[in-house]
Amino acid sequence: MKGQGPDSDIVMSSRIRIARNLQSHPFPMLATNQQSQEVLDKVTEALQNEELGTISRFDLIPLSELSELQKRVLVEKHLISPNLANESRNGAVILSENESISIMINEEDHLRIQCLCPGFQIKEAWDLASQIDDVFEGNLDYAFDERRGFLTSCPTNVGTGIRASVMMHLPALVLTQQINRILSAITQVGLAVRGLYGEGSEAIGNLFQISNQITLGQSEDEIIDNLYSVARQIIEHEKAARQKLISESRTRIVDRVMRSYGILSHASIMDSKEAAQRLSDVRLGVDLGIITQVSPHIMNELMVMTQPGFLQQQSGEKLSPEDRDIRRAELIRERLSTI
């Protein structure tokens, strides 16, 4: 969240996720405890490859060693999926030193390699993920079919096994009521639109995850290029919408931004949904130059730090919903007052 990348005023992050399975073992949902442990052992052995050491230092963390709260924080940081946190047998995660790379073991598939980059760097994320995938492929026997490609637990991932996505902050398209038309067009070109936490999640705080739907019948480069092209168009539409807000409704947008800034700076209680919307307003104000005393990375950090798991981890105890709302407001006030 502290990193800066191209078009980071609109694209929060770019992500590549690659699904892979081992030829000699059943998919995780059918594997026994012994079989899933064998997969974990094989991946652990492959992790010792010297080539991976040139990319980063990696730590393997068995999920059984983590508390429910620690797992929730990893979900909120997008380092593991809710599925891995809640249901996995012999699940583990491999994290790079700066956590930009996470590799889930025994989730829906044996391996899920994820690379996150700040801003609009989907091609850079793909290059890094592909490099890691090549190392593992040289040490593990992947489940692969000449006609169907890489075999996965879910048919929607068969083929390349790749999911490419960008997390976009699109407040101006929402405020100018263009978002539904844009999202409808996106789905017609083979892309999916989801919320902050992927499939089934709500798009709160004007954050939308745009990703490919098709993994079979297209090459990895075609999938990346299609997402890149569409995301570039969305960026231009959002920029145009922001300029329209400033030129045609400046007083209204300044009032909206400053009201949200005032509430965030002084509120004593704040639920997660309101916090996400208010932070979105202020982030838009920062990007438009309406608010100059707040840096964008502080707003990015608060979008993560105000999630329930983070609040409880920071407090060192389990909090009731009301206590979380009080702590959330306190945290935001503290962070904004240090500026």
Which 3 state secondary structure label does DSSP give 164? strand
Which 3 state secondary structure label does DSSP give 11? strand
CA separation for the pair 73, 309 (Å, rounded):
5
Q: Is 56 labelled as part of a ligand binding site?
A: no
Across the range 232-239, mean pLDDT stands at 97
The torsion angles phi and psi of 61, rounded to 5 degrees, stand at -120, 110
The one-letter amino acid code at 262 reads G
Give helix 308-315 / helix 321-337 axis angle, nearest 10°: 80
Lowest-confidence range among 17-26, 77-86, 225-234? 77-86
Q: Is 163 labelled as part of a ligand binding site?
A: yes
Instruction: Find, among 2, 19, 64, the residue nearest to 37 by Cα.
Output: 64
Are the CB atoms for 186 and 237 separated by under 8 Å? no
Q: Is 112 labelled as part of a ligand binding site?
A: yes
* 98 CB-contact burial (10 Å; exposed 0-12 / middle 13-18 / buried 19+): exposed
Please provide the average confidence, as pLDDT, over all residues in the chain. 91
Report the percent of the chain where pLDDT is more than 70. Answer: 96
Across the range 225-238, mean pLDDT stands at 96
pLDDT digits (tens, 9 = 90+) for 64-75: 999 988 999 899
Across the range 99-108, mean pLDDT stands at 95
Report the percent of the chain where pLDDT is more than 90. Answer: 71
Q: Is 261 labelled as part of a ligand binding site?
A: no
Task: Give the pLDDT confidence score for residue 200 in this predicted structure.
Answer: 46
pLDDT digits (tens, 9 = 90+) for 308-332: 888 998 888 889 999 999 999 999 9
Give the confidence band of 1 by pLDDT, cuts at 50, 70, 90: low
* pLDDT at 201 exceeding the cut of 50: no
Q: Which CATH number fits domain 11-239: 3.30.590.10, 3.40.50.970, 1.10.3720.10, 3.30.43.10?
A: 3.30.590.10
Task: Give the pLDDT confidence score for residue 202 in this predicted structure.
Answer: 57
Q: Is 13 labelled as part of a ligand binding site?
A: yes
Contacts of 70 (CB under 8 A, 6+ apart): 313
Q: Is 17 labelled as part of a ligand binding site?
A: yes
* pLDDT at 199 exceeding the cut of 80: no
Q: Is 166 labelled as part of a ligand binding site?
A: yes
Q: Is 148 labelled as part of a ligand binding site?
A: no
Across the range 295-310, mean pLDDT stands at 86
Q: Is 165 labelled as part of a ligand binding site?
A: yes
**Stronger pLDDT, 270 or 337, i.e. the higher one:** 270
Task: Give the pLDDT confidence score for residue 309 in this predicted structure.
Answer: 87
What Å distances lie between residue 88 and 21, 47, 145, 198, 202, CA to CA?
Answer: 15, 20, 26, 18, 24
Q: Is 189 labelled as part of a ligand binding site?
A: no
DSSP letters, 47-92, are TT-HHHHHH--EEEEEGGGS-HHHHHHHHHTTSS-HHHHHH-SS-E
Ranges of H-type helices in 117-178: 122-137, 171-175
Which 3 state secondary structure label does DSSP give 338? coil
Q: Is 337 labelled as part of a ligand binding site?
A: no
Whether the full predicted model's pTM is greater than 0.75, yes or no, is yes
Task: Give the pLDDT confidence score for residue 317 in this predicted structure.
Answer: 83
Q: Is 16 labelled as part of a ligand binding site?
A: yes
Q: Is 250 labelled as part of a ligand binding site?
A: no
Lowest-confidence range among 151-155, 166-170, 191-195, 270-274? 191-195
Are the CB atoms for 148 and 17 separated by under 8 Å? no
Task: Give the pLDDT confidence score for residue 339 in this predicted structure.
Answer: 55
Q: Is 198 labelled as part of a ligand binding site?
A: yes
**Stronger pLDDT, 55 or 217, i.e. the higher one:** 55
Task: Give the pLDDT confidence score for residue 189 in this predicted structure.
Answer: 86
DSSP letters, 97-120, are TTSSEEEEESSSSSEEEEEEEESS
* pLDDT at 106 exceeding the cut of 90: yes
**Stronger pLDDT, 16 or 157, i.e. the higher one:** 16
Handedness of CA 29, 34, 39, 44 (dihedral sign): positive
DSSP 3: -
Instruction: Find, among 190, 183, 201, 195, the residue nearest to 227 by Cα.
Output: 190
